[in-house]
Chains A and B, each alone.
Chain A
Amino acid sequence: MTLLIAARQLSKTFVLHQQDGLELPVLADVSLEVHAGECVALTGPSGAGKSTLLKALYANYLVQHGTLNILRHGRWIDMARAAPHEIVAVRRDTLGYVSQFLRVIPRVSALDIVAEPLIEQGEERETARERAGALLERLNIAERLWNLPPATFSGGEQQRVNIARGLVAPRPVLLLDEPTASLDAANRAVVVELMREAKARGAALVGIFHDEATRDAIADRLFTVPLARRHTKEIAT
């Protein structure tokens, strides 16, 4: 199958200037390749850098070393070096991110939040809203809630709205940060089904799944994020 993600020798160290330049190495020399139709589950002890790796893949975190290539329209784009507008374009049509927390946008209804990625891809507003509605329905969000801003929704509802937003647009690479955490069994099953559909479509998935049942249901292989050598030192400045 086609290689979609090729991350080589990634290193990431946080430097906390607020704490006298405290250095926290999180990723050291991490390489990861993911093919189309494959789901890789990141594992490792808490704090090993699973989330950091996922965020680095999304260019949300900067890596100090390494290359981070994502295949977009048959061309490799190094997310560690791409210009901001290129990263925005990759995120729009190639790279999706499903996190646990919905960042609520004031006054925008749940339906519009979910439909937005489709509209950004050039879908007609009405079609996008229809597809968004269908997805919310599958995720058991009551239709009476669709036109309300999710600020007042319960945690689980907000999370499902965010999953819908992350999955509504068919992107070939999906990054999933605990998508099923705190969902009930029924909704968890729906999310697993959605992820399987994405895989069947040929998407490459990289995820953190705490819940073992979900991991077993969706992951093709595990990737243990190697522990960076933890040595903290003061930077004399």
Chain B
Amino acid sequence: MKPILQVKQLAKRYGDRYGCRDVNFELYEGEVLCIVGESGSGKSTLLATLAGRLAADEGEVTFRDANGDWHELSTLAEAERRRLARTEWGFVTQHARDGLRMGVSAGANVSERLMALGHRHYGQLRATAAEWLEKVEIGAERLDDPPSRFSGGMQQRLQIARNLVTRPRLVFMDEPTGGLDVSVQARFLDLLRRLVHESGVAVIMVTHDLGVARLLAHRTLVMQQGRVVEAGLTDQILDDPQHPYTQLLVSSIVQA
């Protein structure tokens, strides 16, 4: 198995201060990686830098595309980066309004990426969108409703459909459950878990919820003050944490 993402000595600065630094890891096909840590630990900065939304100041991020070609993000032309973002990546945001077009129908939201790839058959686009709404448990009958009329959980599920419809190989997720009620979270996570399993997509997800990491992630990176203080298998990190900060995090979980 080959990695699809290689991260070496990655750092992002804000002025004199590091948002994240000395980040190294490899991600393999179909792997789910969670980045955990408290607010301000640099996890969202790291995610945005990995996704090329922020320019790295040090180190490199290389991505292997479907043809097997490697791309180093910092030297990649903007056009090429956007092409990757459109075809090979997805990005699910914490707030649905940042990731959806709230004014257009759910069907158009799901179809947009397909149309961006050149799909020009309305009937097929609509059928595909309906199929995906079913898959994310929204129901095809809501195809023509705008997401502004959806609940928070439905909006997040619509984001998932909108991103997965083009079968990306890597999806970035920034606290996708952050704004959801606990009861709604469970449904979302279960669905996500199933879709990720079925599609074999690799996922890098930022979360502050260790329970989410436990449920979804093969691997976890623990961040503190911009650095990765511990990395490894999720169950190992949660059951046998090594770093003082990780031990503190794990011991702070409220047992249900």
Inter-chain contacts of A62 with B (CB < 8 A):
232, 236, 240, 242
Inter-chain contacts of A84 with B (CB < 8 A):
31, 218-219, 232-233
Inter-chain contacts of A85 with B (CB < 8 A):
1, 28, 31, 218-219
Partner of B244, one of A17, A55, A105: A17
B239 at the interface (CB under 8 A from A): yes
Instruction: State whether B240 touches A60 (Cβ < 8 A).
Output: yes
Inter-chain contacts of B247 with A (CB < 8 A):
16-18
Instruction: State whether A61 touches B251 (Cβ < 8 A).
Output: no
Total A-B pairs, Cβ < 8 A: 57
- B193's nearest neighbour on chain A, judged by CB, is A105
- B215's nearest neighbour on chain A, judged by CB, is A105
Instruction: State whether A60 touches B248 (Cβ < 8 A).
Output: no
B186 at the interface (CB under 8 A from A): yes
- A89's nearest neighbour on chain B, judged by CB, is B1
Instruction: State whether A18 touches B236 (Cβ < 8 A).
Output: no
Instruction: State whether B218 touches A88 (Cβ < 8 A).
Output: yes
A107 at the interface (CB under 8 A from B): yes
Instruction: State whether B248 touches A18 (Cβ < 8 A).
Output: yes
Inter-chain contacts of B219 with A (CB < 8 A):
84-85
A28 at the interface (CB under 8 A from B): no
Inter-chain contacts of B186 with A (CB < 8 A):
106-107
- A82's nearest neighbour on chain B, judged by CB, is B233
Instruction: State whether A61 touches B240 (Cβ < 8 A).
Output: yes
A41 at the interface (CB under 8 A from B): no
Instruction: State whether B187 touches A59 (Cβ < 8 A).
Output: no
Give B191-208 interface residues, CB cut-off 8 Å to A.
Answer: 193, 197
- B234's nearest neighbour on chain A, judged by CB, is A84
Instruction: State whether B218 touches A108 (Cβ < 8 A).
Output: no
Inter-chain contacts of A55 with B (CB < 8 A):
239-240
A87 at the interface (CB under 8 A from B): yes
Instruction: State whether A106 touches B233 (Cβ < 8 A).
Output: no
- The tally of residues in B whose CB lies under 8 Å from a CB in A reads 26
Partner of A59, one of B189, B197, B233, B244: B233
The answer to whether A18 and B215 touch (CB under 8 A), given A61-B240, A85-B31, A107-B190, is no
Alpha-carbon separation in the docked complex, A119 to B218 (Å): 17
Instruction: State whether A107 touches B232 (Cβ < 8 A).
Output: no
The answer to whether A61 and B239 touch (CB under 8 A), given A16-B247, A18-B251, A105-B215, is yes
The answer to whether A59 and B190 touch (CB under 8 A), given A85-B31, A105-B215, is no
Give B1-55 interface residues, CB cut-off 8 Å to A.
Answer: 1, 26, 28, 31
Interface flags, A204-226, vs B, CB<8A=1, else 0: 00000000000000000000000
B254 to nearest A CB, angstroms? 16
A144 to nearest B CB, angstroms? 22
Partner of B233, one of A18, A87, A108, A119: A87
Inter-chain contacts of B248 with A (CB < 8 A):
17-18
B117 to nearest A CB, angstroms? 29
Instruction: State whether B233 touches A88 (Cβ < 8 A).
Output: yes
Partner of A107, one of B187, B218, B242: B187
Inter-chain contacts of B236 with A (CB < 8 A):
59-62
The answer to whether A60 and B235 touch (CB under 8 A), given A85-B28, A107-B186, is yes
B115 to nearest A CB, angstroms? 32
Instruction: State whether A105 touches B31 (Cβ < 8 A).
Output: no
Alpha-carbon separation in the docked complex, A17 to B240 (Å): 12
Alpha-carbon separation in the docked complex, A17 to B243 (Å): 8
Inter-chain contacts of A108 with B (CB < 8 A):
190
Give A47-92 interface residues, CB cut-off 8 Å to B.
Answer: 55, 59-62, 83-85, 87-89
Alpha-carbon separation in the docked complex, A88 to B217 (Å): 11
A residues engaging B (CB < 8 A)?
Answer: 14-18, 55, 59-62, 83-85, 87-89, 103, 105-108, 119-120
Beyond A55-B239, A83-B26, list 17 extra A-B contacts (CB 8 Å).
A59-B233, A60-B235, A61-B236, A61-B240, A62-B242, A84-B232, A85-B1, A85-B28, A85-B31, A87-B233, A88-B233, A103-B214, A106-B187, A106-B189, A106-B190, A107-B187, A120-B197
- What are 21 A-to-B residue pairs whose CB atoms are below 8 Å? A14-B240, A15-B242, A17-B247, A55-B239, A55-B240, A59-B236, A60-B239, A83-B26, A84-B31, A84-B219, A84-B232, A85-B1, A85-B28, A88-B218, A89-B1, A103-B214, A106-B187, A106-B189, A107-B186, A119-B197, A120-B197
What are the nearest 3 A-B pairs in CB distance? A17-B244, A106-B186, A61-B240
